[in-house]
């Protein structure tokens, strides 16, 4: 089973505790998901994010209704949490959310390892393009919520991390080959 990955990051002009608190509210995932996915959280009531918490969703992938269940497998506030698909459209979906504060700003990073039915062909024709659009939207929404950091203000960097204006987020297979 071939595994792929997607990585993206965004600098946000807020302290790590504030950014992590936003991600700690599972309901904010609806704000970070494009409307064309028709994403809806099905889990009732307030969701207490912690290791072992499961969350059920409903969405549409290319018009096909899909149910998705994820489980929080690591919970390390305010620097990391990991959600893994328990049931859903992917063979494997492991999403690491990393947060690092520098100079009063937070680097929010997403690292996703995934495998899809149809392997490299399905990934190349459909999945990686869809994921690039989804994570571009997420990046833009996070900047809308928290503000953006001018390129010149990014600690230790001459250019912003995250998205190339035309290529989107870094997408590669498990061997690190860019696709």
pLDDT of 107 above 60: yes
pLDDT of 51 above 90: yes
pLDDT of 143 above 80: yes
CATH assignment of 4-173, among 3.30.530.20, 3.10.180.10, 1.10.540.10, 1.10.10.10: 3.30.530.20
| 27-31, 47-51, 155-159: the lowest-pLDDT one | 155-159
The rounded radius of gyration (Å) of the Cα atoms in the chain is 16
pLDDT of 170 above 50: yes
Higher pLDDT, 91 or 178: 91
Q: What is the DSSP letter of 28?
A: G
SS3 label, residue 24 = helix
pLDDT of 45 above 80: yes
pLDDT of 171 above 80: no
Question: Angle at the Cα of 152 (from 147 to 156), degrees rounded to 5?
Answer: 105
Beta strands per DSSP E along the chain = 4-12, 40-41, 54-61, 64-76, 80-87, 92-102, 105-115, 170-173
What mean pLDDT is predicted for residues 9-33? Answer: 96
Token look-up 């918490």 returns 53
| Nearest alpha carbon to residue 10 among 75, 100, 127, 104 | 100
Residue 173 pLDDT: 56
This prediction's pTM: 0.87
Residue 1 pLDDT: 82
Quote the CA–CA distance of 70 and 157 in Å, as a whole number: 34
What mean pLDDT is predicted for residues 83-98? Answer: 98
Token look-up 């690190």 returns 176
pLDDT in tens, 92-106: 999 999 999 998 999
């Amino acid at each position: 089973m071939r595994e792929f990955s997607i990585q993206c990051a965004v600098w946000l002009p807020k302290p790590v505790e504030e950014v992590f608190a936003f991600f700690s509210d599972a309901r904010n995932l609806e704000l970070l998901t494009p409307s064309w996915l028709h994403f809806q959280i099905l889990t009732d009531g307030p969701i207490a994010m912690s290791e072992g918490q499961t969350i059920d969703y409903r969405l549409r992938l290319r018009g096909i209704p899909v149910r998705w269940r994820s489980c929080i497998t690591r919970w390390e506030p305010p620097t990391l949490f990991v959600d893994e698909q328990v049931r859903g459209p992917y063979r494997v979906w492991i999403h690491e959310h990393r947060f690092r504060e520098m100079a009063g700003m937070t680097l929010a990073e997403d690292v996703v390892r995934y495998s899809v039915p149809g392997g490299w062909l399905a990934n190349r024709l459909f999945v990686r393009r869809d994921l690039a659009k989804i994570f571009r939207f997420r990046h833009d929404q996070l900047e809308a919520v928290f503000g953006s950091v001018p390129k010149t203000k990014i600690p230790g960097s001459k250019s912003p991390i995250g998205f190339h204006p035309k290529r989107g987020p870094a997408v590669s297979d498990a061997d690190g080959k860019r696709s």
